[in-house]
Structure 1
Amino acid sequence: MTIGGHLEELYGLPAFTFPGTGETTGLPEPDAVAWRIAAATYDAGNAWTEVFARFCAAVDTTRVRALIVGVWEDAYDSAPSHVIEALVAARDRLPALRAVFLGDIVFEECEISWITQGDVAPLLAGFPELEEFGVRGGQGLVFPALRHDGLRKLVVETGGLPVEVVRGVGAGELPALEHLDLWLGTSWYGADSEVADLAPILSGARLPRLRHLALRNSEIQDEVAAAVASAAVVARLDVLDLSMGTLGDDGAAALLGGQPLTHLRKLDLHHNYIGEALRQRLRETLEPAGVEVDLDQDDAERDEDDDGTVHRYVAVGE
């Protein structure tokens, strides 16, 4: 599966694409939408920073609450350092900004695992009142251990998440974080973390307010589930999301044999490879307690070799 559609909302606001070229009259109120800023095309000579400059001239940026960074020129080859620099340079003009998504790029513009990212620390440091931050693309992504007292939601979408990013998130100080969503991905596209690298996250020691944990889109989803089954952080979660990966019977059995999950509001396991017997046990164990259990398998693809070996795939790779 690829990502075929742009974000429809951010920070609870509907997404609106600022016109890359042409008329800018009749725009929505500055605080009514999440503004999507994107280079017009790869070859139109209309760079992201030029579109952003037009946006700043046309919109009362002091009221803007959410920004979605769409495709920049040469996203295959160039990190968005110029984008981050432009945003940080404009921070005094964006006092109300509370949410940023960096890299709302669909497959027709650049496949997720070919998006070139860079160091996002300057962006987070430049906006200490940011409450939501998301980034798409793991190639070249740098997320060092940092402190951010305002961040409530962090989303990292990749087809292959570098281990240093996992370790950076785990070693950071994010005392306000309530929602953490990591797409771990596959080694085919750069994922090189092991379950042990998740230990600081699963302990919850640096994440006192975490209520929604997603560790998904992983080729080691069974091992992740086994670690989660005994993780201290789970007892205070409302939502546990292990979806989009290669979760099978081993992972499902580990969840059923671990700590109780009946306190959850939702257990999301969609895109899984769990057999019917264990799927039924999950439903019978959790649904009577009021837990919403998503076991949808509709898009879970598999191949079987002549010798019977079954190959499972994460939902989003390339």
Structure 2
Amino acid sequence: MTERPSHWDEYTESYAGLPVAFSPLPEESSPPDVAAWRIHGSDWEHNDSPKRISESFDWFFEHVDTGKVTAIVIGGWEDSGDKDSGEIVARLADNADRLPGLRSLFLGAMTPEENEISWIQQSDVTPLLKAYPRLERLEVRGGNGLGFEPVRHESLRTLRFESGGLPARVVRGVGDSDLPALEHLEIWFGDENYGGDSRVTDCAAVLTGERLPALRYLGLQNCPFADDLAAALAAAPVVARLEELNLSMSAFGDAGAEALLSGQPLTHLRRLDLDHHFVGEEMMARLVAALPGVEVLLTDRQSSHGDWLYVAVGE
């Protein structure tokens, strides 16, 4: 992945390099042979579309040659602030035999205008990986009620969690999973006021990289304990094989920058992303000078409120 996703992305035009088609299509429209299918069922999105996501699934399985489908975007579902994604996960898992080519899946593509990221009710998404052993890309928005159990998956190359408050059990579940093909891992920790209860210790297995031998992009983002995390990264074995380290959207300040500068070399990185940060000008200059040839992103500098440093995405 080369794009920098945002929790405002709806994926209504393109996803996974494909144009998006909506389920259901307007009457008398012929389904395209190649598309990422967007399945949704919410009052917010389209007045002429089903209000229940189950109806959109019904149309999809009735009218689309699902054997050709490689990408699906799950948008909003009715009462997504109260009703979790369990039925959606089950519907996808139960129909895996009808989707043999599915490689990319986004679950919960809702903007804050439809439902704040911390209000989206998710569920355990592990059944998706068990049902789709050839899935290469799994992305989830919303951390409320989210579960991820340790799993071995041979094909997954991209795993992303966008959250305003990610449960620590998800972070530990990822770290305890065997993901030999995973190249891109992105975790948005979020605010403890919205369920983000992770600590540095929960990241220990990820930082060793033992179960992530192919990892080249590590995003530990939207992190309220970013300075402590930077201190752990300074000696983390996984860093040596990375091409990009992303600590953006975080409560990252001078202490974190000093920790990175005092730790293992980072000059092998292609990019160090620290956008939305609290680093002082002198320390910013030191970071850039210490990493010649590395693209160091230090835009969107924030002003602290006393000792309070904050993440970019909470509610």
**For residues 45 and 178 of structure 1, what CA distance do their matches in structure 2 show?**
37
1:29 matched to 2:26? The reply is: no
Are the counterparts in 1 of residues 278 and 304 from structure 2 also a CA contact under 8 Å?
Answer: no
Aligned counterpart for 1:241 among listed residues 233, 241, 246: 246
Give the 3 Å change call, closer, same or farther, for CA 3–130 of structure 1 in structure 2. Answer: closer
Partner of 1:62: 67
Partner of 2:209: 204
Give the 3 Å change call, closer, same or farther, for CA 174–282 of structure 1 in structure 2. Answer: same
1:41 matched to 2:43? The reply is: yes
**Cα deviation digits, residues 56-114 of structure 1 (max 9, x gap):** 22222111111011111111011111111221222122111101111111112110001
**For residues 190 and 255 of structure 1, what CA distance do their matches in structure 2 show?**
28
Partner of 2:99: 94
1:4 matched to 2:4? The reply is: no
Per the TM alignment, residue 176 of structure 1 is displaced from its structure 2 partner at its CA by 1.1
Per the TM alignment, residue 192 of structure 1 is displaced from its structure 2 partner at its CA by 1.1
Partner of 2:221: 216
**For residues 278 and 13 of structure 1, what CA distance do their matches in structure 2 show?**
42
Partner of 2:3: none
Tell me the number of residue pairs that the alignment of Structure 1 and Structure 2 aligns. Answer: 306
Aligned counterpart for 2:135 among listed residues 114, 130, 139: 130
Written as runs of structure 1 = structure 2, the 5 A alignment for 1:298-313 is: 300=302, 302=303, 304=305, 309-313=306-310
Find the residue that maps to 2:118 and give its secondary structure. helix
Aligned counterpart for 1:293 among listed residues 293, 296, 299: 296
1:260 matched to 2:257? The reply is: no
Partner of 2:22: 18
> Unaligned 5+ residue runs, structure 1?
none
**For residues 129 and 45 of structure 1, what CA distance do their matches in structure 2 show?**
30
Find the residue that maps to 1:113 and give its secondary structure. coil
Find the residue that maps to 1:36 and give its secondary structure. strand
> One-letter code of the match for 2:274?
L
Find the residue that maps to 1:108 and give its secondary structure. coil
Find the residue that maps to 1:213 and give its secondary structure. strand
Give the 3 Å change call, closer, same or farther, for CA 24–254 of structure 1 in structure 2. Answer: farther
**For residues 304 and 207 of structure 2, what CA distance do their matches in structure 1 show?**
32
> One-letter code of the match for 2:115?
C
**For residues 85 and 287 of structure 2, what CA distance do their matches in structure 1 show?**
43
Per the TM alignment, residue 19 of structure 1 is displaced from its structure 2 partner at its CA by 4.5
Aligned counterpart for 2:197 among listed residues 173, 192, 195: 192
What percentage of residue pairs aligned between the two structures are identical?
49
Taking structure 2 as the reference length, what is the TM-score of the superposition? 0.92
Find the residue that maps to 2:203 and give its secondary structure. helix
Find the residue that maps to 1:215 and give its secondary structure. strand
Find the residue that maps to 2:232 and give its secondary structure. helix
**For residues 83 and 120 of structure 2, what CA distance do their matches in structure 1 show?**
8
Find the residue that maps to 1:227 and give its secondary structure. helix
Taking structure 1 as the reference length, what is the TM-score of the superposition? 0.91
